[in-house]
Amino acid sequence: NAGVMQNPRHLVRRRGQEARLRCSPMKGHSHVYWYRQLPEEGLKFMVYLQKENIIDESGMPKERFSAEFPKEGPSILRIQQVVRGDSAAYFCASSPWTSGGAYEQYFGPGTRLTVT
Amino acid sequence: DAKTTQPPSMDCAEGRAANLPCNHSTISGNEYVYWYRQIHSQGPQYIIHGLKNNETNEMASLIITEDRKSSTLILPHATLRDTAVYYCIVRVDTSGSRLTFGEGTQLTVNP
């Protein structure tokens, strides 16, 4: 059973370009979360999605950042017009849906974004 | 979610048990205690979770005090590969509940 997959693992963008980060959840998982870890800082929640729905985006910066989880295909975190401060590790996590009980989240290896 | 307090760092000798404490004195009745770890910038790894009973799996044991105000993660035979930042997280057990990571404890296992 493959784990959470993220690609690319490393991404270099110049200031002003767009960055697209992809996340394929574990098989059977319908919940996806994105977290960001700035250099020398802790992990911060960004957004929570279910298929075709954004459930909680309270951690997303108000501008330039967007996320989607289409009916088919991976979840995408999109950063428009990147700036140096966007350089960070971006982690995706997934969890299953069940009618009750605990919901542990399983994390991918992350995408390391470097803005030059 | 309830706030947690962990020591910033701990050392442990290889082969010995590592006992990582966590205080969560404001925990609510419907909040679980979760433990994750992050090994050198890799993705966080789920370890274990519990509500009020002690729990054990192939990785670790979780001991929760009777009043639920604190807990201890136990790695019974620590190895060098267990060197990581360990996060104690308290969260409501509902679908879509985010994980709020604090500073964690940097555990260093020494040979």
Q: Look up residue A73 and give its two tokens.
A: 């295909």
The better pLDDT of the pair A10, B31 is held by A10
Looking at residue A112, its pLDDT comes to 97
Mean pLDDT, range B17-45, rounded to an integer: 93
Q: Look up residue B34 and give its two tokens.
A: 């979760």
Pairwise CB contact (< 8 Å): A45 & B100: yes
Looking at residue A1, its pLDDT comes to 54
- Residues A79, A62 contacting (CB under 8 angstroms): no
Cα separation, A23 vs A74, in Å, equals: 5
Q: Output the 3-class SS for B23-59.
A: ECCCCCCCEEEEEEEECCCCCCEEEEEECCCCEECCC
Q: Chain B partners of A110 at a C-beta cutoff of 8 Å?
A: 41-43
Closest partner residue to B98 (CB to CB) among A37, A48, A89 is A48
Q: Which residues of A46-62 are buried (b: 16+ CB within 10 A; e: fewer)?
A: bbbbeeeeeeebebbee
Neighbour count for residue A5 (Cβ, 10 Å): 16
Residue B16: pLDDT over 60: yes
Closest partner residue to A102 (CB to CB) among B32, B101, B104 is B32
Cα separation, A95 vs A108, in Å, equals: 12
Say yes or no: B32 contacts chain A, CB-CB below 8 A. Answer: yes
| pLDDT per residue as tens digits for the range B47-72 | 999 999 899 999 999 999 999 999 99
| pLDDT per residue as tens digits for the range A73-87 | 999 999 999 999 999
| pLDDT per residue as tens digits for the range A22-67 | 999 999 888 899 999 998 888 999 999 988 899 899 999 989 999 9
> Which of A33, A103, A111, A114 should we substitute to test contact with B (largest number of B Cβ atoms within 10 Å)?
A103
What pLDDT band is residue A95 in, cutting at 50, 70 and 90? confident
Q: Which residue do the tokens 């370009």 mark?
A: A17
Q: Tell me the HSE value of A30 on the side-chain side, using a 13 A CA sphere.
A: 10
Q: In this complex, how many residue pairs, one in chain A and one in chain B, have their CB atoms less than 8 Å apart?
A: 61
DSSP A81: S
What pLDDT band is residue B96 in, cutting at 50, 70 and 90? low
Alpha carbon of A110 to those of A14, A97, B36: distances in Å?
A: 20, 22, 16
First to last CA, chain B: 37
**Residue partners of A107: CB distance under 8 A and separation at least 6:** A4, A35, A91, A92, A93, B43, B44, B45, B46
What pLDDT band is residue B39 in, cutting at 50, 70 and 90? very high
Residue B95: pLDDT over 80: no
Looking at residue B21, its pLDDT comes to 98
Pairwise CB contact (< 8 Å): A33 & B97: no
Looking at residue A104, its pLDDT comes to 82
Residue B97: pLDDT over 90: no
Looking at residue B41, its pLDDT comes to 81
Looking at residue B101, its pLDDT comes to 92
β-pairing verdict for A111-115 and A88-96: antiparallel
Looking at residue A98, its pLDDT comes to 61
